[in-house]
Structure 1
Amino acid sequence: MESLLSTEQHAQLYDAENIWSADDEFFLAFANERSASRILDLGCGTGRLTLALAAAGHEVTGVDPHPGSLAAARSKPAAETVRWIEGTSAVLNDEAPFDAVLMTSHVVQAITDDTEWARTLLDIYRVLAQGGRLIFDSRDPRSRAWERWTPAQTRNELTLADGTHVQLWIDSAPSDNGLVNITEHRLFADGSREFEDAVLAFRSEQQLRTHLSDAGLHVSSVFGGWHRQPAGHGTGELICIATR
């Protein structure tokens, strides 16, 4: 079904739903532990964190498979300070090694196919410098976040730059093999409606550790929240840091 929103409106909606928060502060602080690094923001979306990394003095490449998201990123102030590439990790061929690869906003959970996930980690290993670091966040299945993704707990109202008013809510249903089906519902001021389906993969801490090890990456830390709480505590996150 064709969306009632334009590509530009989808990007505006994403930015309105995903504002700067504790996770961005965490990833930026992580990157700033090593000054003037060469950083890959894999799954950069509309460039919220990507541009902040560049503003902090890093040499940044943003990669995303969605042309609409990249178009929005390229239209933002100081976008010329970032190298933007449309695609997935597979497009990274003859790159100079990166000091760090970041995958934020739970983007790893959108990679639901195990073969594609394994290939992504191998691609990351290939483009990381020796001693380079990978960091990503994934929701801990032990916290059962999908049980809180109900219409009553997720209802929100947003107004886009052009005045379009949208009411939103989410419902979810767990499937097999750690997958959870998500549906975002949208109700517009004129009474028209649409919905968008997605699937997220919930991988356990042990699964993530095994997958990283299989790709040749050494896991140095797994945190459960943005204040570096142990996994199983904190805010229901699995924030994984691994080195090549």
Structure 2
Amino acid sequence: MRHAEFRHHRLVQVYDAECRWGPDDDFFQAVVDETPAARVLDLGCGTGRLTVALAAVGHRVTGVDPAGASVAAARARPGGERVTWIEGTSASLPTRAFDVAVLTSHVAQFFVDDAEWARTLADLARALVPGGRLVFDARDPADRRWELWNPEDSHRLVTLPDGGEVRAWTRVTGVRDGVVDFTHHYHFDDGERLVSSATLRFRTEEELRGSLTRAGFVVDRVYGGWRQEPLGLGDGEFVVVAHAATVAPVF
């Protein structure tokens, strides 16, 4: 199944158990908190870890994700009632409704096709107020992180809330022109075995900046890690902070 870790009810539990609060969440929350009581969009919110945390400190938060199983898990999270949840895509977003938009956990890389990425950025520019901020992360292709996505380096044992255990690992199945195909493998202790396949796009800094400019954004900062390190000296990331231009781009 494609993207089964977000769509299959058992794998959503594994994803949630694996993906705990980290330095990336600290960064996103700090940026959002710079706008008091902000109207926040979390696009690709997944199971709502950051979404709910932002609502808990007084922001008005909308979480949007196309995966119904993930949205259901997010709704059930303690504090989930404070968030407006939408099962959908950026095409569902209202106009001029948000002060800040975040795309976390490398959601930006799931938009493999350039046209799809451009449409998503256009939707975000429409959904933000003039000057509204867009914050997202993407892996730096120069870091070649996919080389660690093999059964030896990626093997882990995941403990679920009910005490069950899952052995998981990742295998890259193809690399071409900035596009990486891979599969996640999961072996449950009750004998069930599941596989999730996915494809990610690794865009260069130049490609990201160009796509943002064409969509009507102004790039404020591109960091190399969650502690605002320079590019190439951080976590192998592009951590992008931009804002919607006050004047629409002319084509």
How would you bin the TM-score normalised by the shorter chain? over 0.9
Asked if structure 1 preserves the Cα contact closer than 8 Å seen for 2:47 and 2:71, the reply is yes
Q: Are positions 1:44 and 2:68 aligned together?
A: no
Distance 1:118 1:96 in 2: 18
Q: Is the partner of 2:176 in helix, strand or coil?
A: coil
SS of aligned partner of 1:219: strand
State the distance in 2 between where 1:202 and 1:18 align: 21
Letter in 2 for 1:32: D
**Contact 2:179-2:200 within 8 A present in 1 as well:** yes
Q: 1:239 matched to which residue of 2?
A: 239
Taking structure 1 as reference, are residues 130 and 201 closer, same or farther at Cα in structure 2, changes over 3 Å only? same
Q: Does structure 2 retain, via aligned residues, the 8 Å contact 1:9–1:160?
A: no
**1:235–1:34 CA distance, 2 compared to 1 (3 A):** same
Gap runs ≥5 in structure 2: 245-251
Name the SS of the counterpart of 1:212 in structure 2: helix
The residue aligned with 2:151 is 151
What is the letter of the counterpart of residue 18 of structure 1?
Answer: C
Q: Give the letter for the 2:110 counterpart.
A: A
State the number of aligned residues. Answer: 242
- Report what 2:65 is aligned to: 64
Distance 1:201 1:221 in 2: 21
Structure 2 CA distance, aligned partners of 1:128 and 1:236? 28
1:14 lines up with 2:15 in the alignment:
yes
Alignment correspondent of 2:215:
215
In structure 1, the residue matched to 2:225 is: 225
Identity %: 50
When normalised by structure 2's length, the TM-score is 0.91
**1:108-187 aligned within 5 A:** 108-187=108-187
Is the 8 Å Cα contact of residues 146 and 174 (structure 1) preserved in structure 2?
no
Deviations 1:131-166, CA, capped at 9 Å, x for gaps: 110000000000000011121111111232344421
SS in 2 for 1:175: strand
Task: Give the Cα separation in 2 of the matches to 1:233 and 1:67.
Answer: 37
SS in 2 for 1:85: strand
Question: What is the CA distance between 1:215 and its match in structure 2?
Answer: 0.2
Distance 1:190 1:72, change over 3 A: closer
Q: Distance in 2 between matches of 1:110 and 1:81?
A: 27
Instruction: Kindly indicate whether the alpha-carbon contact (under 8 Å) linking 1:90 and 1:120 is maintained by their aligned counterparts in 2.
Output: yes
1:7/1:163 CA distance change after superposition, 3 Å: farther
Query: TM-score, structure 1 length as denominator?
Result: 0.94
Q: Over aligned residue pairs, what C-alpha RMSD do you find?
A: 1.8
Corresponding residue for residue 31 of structure 1: 32
Structure 1, unaligned runs of 5 or more: none
- Cross-structure match for 1:86: 87
Aligned partners of 2:8, 2:193: CA distance in 1, in Å?
17
Q: Determine if contact 1:205/1:238 at 8 Å carries over to the other structure.
A: yes
- Give the direction of change, closer, same or farther, for the CA distance of 1:205–1:163 in structure 2 (3 Å limit): same
Specify the alignment match of 1:104 in structure 2.
104
**1:53 corresponds to which residue?**
54
